[in-house]
């Protein structure tokens, strides 16, 4: 009997330990917003990895919100494939009026599932990967390729702890994001937020409105709020054009949406509104970039502005993205495609098929993850984690225990097989 088969048997026999590990991770209250609350949880992961021989890099992305990266150097790093396992420690916020069956951060077992905030998104993925690492360590298995474990912050609020890992230079031959995918192997579309601002350097009293809108007034002025309605109509026209002209396998037609999410404008009732700001959220396909999509929006709205006499003098201004929905009200999630011919994808398909006795689905996530930043850094990437998306962020969020057990078996095999693959092999 092979060592990996023996580890699979251990996972079945020791599933209570696996469940307890997930319960422990859930018990750390790490919702974002408010964020700034992952220090204790991240220190737990750092200590866990340190005990397994990992070198630890821990630094604050924001005060109280550190990233943890553990690196287990392989015995022959130059010759064998390296792997990044990536997951986020923050979880979705919990509103005071949500009717949970128990405290969201005191996990319970209910209908063969672990119930608690973050069970599906995505502390289940973290727990399965960490338990796989524990079993490999206990078995005395030495990996020839490097294994890098990233426990990051800020995914729920666009703060992209993963981006900070990329900026620090962490890289590998493949990255697996253990976020919610129901054990599908997934790429994703992307999201970018933006602010469109109309602002005049002239201010006018409310009593001058007649001169702006009726014959003979001879005052070139306008309400920035009313002009913003032209831009909103233009965004709707562009959205419909995209729905007709763009498509991507696995996505329903019209997934490329432009949501006018928030509008702010005006001073008070005695003024003509001299400023209006519109906050939009734009979804795009895996074969598009956030830069190209932002450019399309700017060009289309710019042409609308050229046809308006007031906007010719007061053209719309654009601000795209941001590093935090909390700090600067903006975010970016790059898109990425999974290469079905990549050797790591073949390896993952093989071990999944062996454990679950069926081939995994290769498709695209209807949501977004930090995987886009890893792919944006040039690392071949896929999302593969336990949990169903309709349980993520939900009241009584849950993760099926059998799915967690199967996932952990896949992770044991995948970590072992991929880091034992020579760099020249395809």
Residue 126, classified by CB atoms within 10 Å of its CB into exposed (0-12), middle (13-18) or buried (19+), is buried
Catalytic residue among 90, 156, 274, 397: 90
Per the annotation, the verdict on 155 as an active-site residue is: yes
In whole angstroms, what is the distance from residue 212 CA to residue 214 CA?
6
In whole angstroms, what is the distance from residue 98 CA to residue 118 CA?
15
In whole angstroms, what is the distance from residue 177 CA to residue 76 CA?
24
**C-alpha to C-alpha distances, 3 to 15, 128, 139, 416, nearest whole angstrom:** 18, 18, 8, 11
Judge whether 372 and 335 are in contact, CB under 8 Å: yes
Judge whether 420 and 144 are in contact, CB under 8 Å: yes
Catalytic residue among 39, 121, 146, 155: 155
Largest Cα separation within the chain, whole Å, is 93
The strand ranges marked E within 275-331 are 275-284, 317-320
Judge whether 324 and 331 are in contact, CB under 8 Å: yes
The alpha-helical segments, DSSP class H, found in 154-251 are 161-167, 209-213, 224-245
Per the annotation, the verdict on 308 as an active-site residue is: no
Residues classed as catalytic: 90, 155
């Amino acid at each position: 009997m092979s060592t990996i088969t023996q580890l699979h048997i251990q996972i079945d026999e020791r599933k209570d330990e696996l469940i307890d590990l997930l319960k422990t991770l859930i018990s750390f209250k790490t919702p974002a917003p408010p964020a700034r609350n992952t220090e204790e949880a991240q220190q737990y992961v750092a200590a866990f990895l340190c005990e397994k021989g990992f070198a630890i890099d821990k630094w604050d992305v924001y005060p109280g919100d550190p990233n943890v990266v553990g690196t287990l150097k392989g015995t022959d790093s130059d010759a064998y494939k390296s792997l990044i396992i990536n997951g986020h420690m923050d979880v979705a916020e919990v509103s005071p009026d949500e009717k949970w069956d128990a405290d969201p951060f005191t996990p319970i077992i209910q209908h063969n599932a672990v119930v608690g905030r973050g069970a599906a998104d995505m502390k289940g993925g973290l727990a399965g990967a960490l338990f796989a690492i524990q079993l490999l360590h206990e078995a005395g298995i030495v990996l020839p390729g490097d294994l890098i474990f990233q426990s990051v912050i800020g995914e729920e609020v666009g703060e992209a702890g993963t981006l900070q890992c990329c900026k620090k230079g962490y890289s590998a031959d493949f990255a697996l994001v253990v976020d919610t995918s129901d054990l599908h192997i997934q790429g994703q579309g992307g999201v970018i937020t933006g602010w469109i601002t109309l602002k005049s350097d002239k201010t006018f009293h409310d009593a001058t409105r007649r001169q702006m809108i009726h014959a003979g007034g001879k005052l070139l002025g306008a309400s920035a709020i009313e002009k913003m309605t032209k831009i909103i109509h233009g965004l709707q026209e562009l959205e419909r054009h995209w729905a007709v002209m763009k498509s991507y396998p696995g996505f329903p037609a019209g997934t490329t949406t432009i949501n006018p999410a928030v509008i702010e404008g005006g001073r008070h009732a005695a003024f003509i509104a001299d400023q209006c700001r519109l906050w939009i959220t734009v979804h795009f396909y895996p074969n598009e970039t956030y830069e190209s999509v932002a450019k399309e929006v700017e060009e289309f709205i710019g042409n609308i502005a050229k046809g308006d006499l007031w906007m010719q003098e007061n053209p719309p201004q654009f601000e795209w993205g941001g590093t935090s929905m909390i700090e600067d009200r903006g975010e970016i999630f790059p898109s990425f495609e999974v290469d079905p011919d990549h050797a790591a994808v073949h390896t993952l398909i093989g071990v999944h098929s062996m454990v679950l006795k069926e081939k995994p689905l290769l498709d695209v996530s209807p949501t977004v993850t930090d995987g886009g930043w890893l792919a944006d850094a040039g690392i071949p990437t896929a999302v593969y984690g336990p949990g169903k998306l309709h349980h993520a962020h939900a009241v009584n969020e849950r993760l099926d225990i059998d799915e967690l057990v199967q996932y952990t078996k896949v992770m044991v095999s995948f970590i072992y097989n991929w880091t034992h693959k020579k760099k020249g092999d395809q």
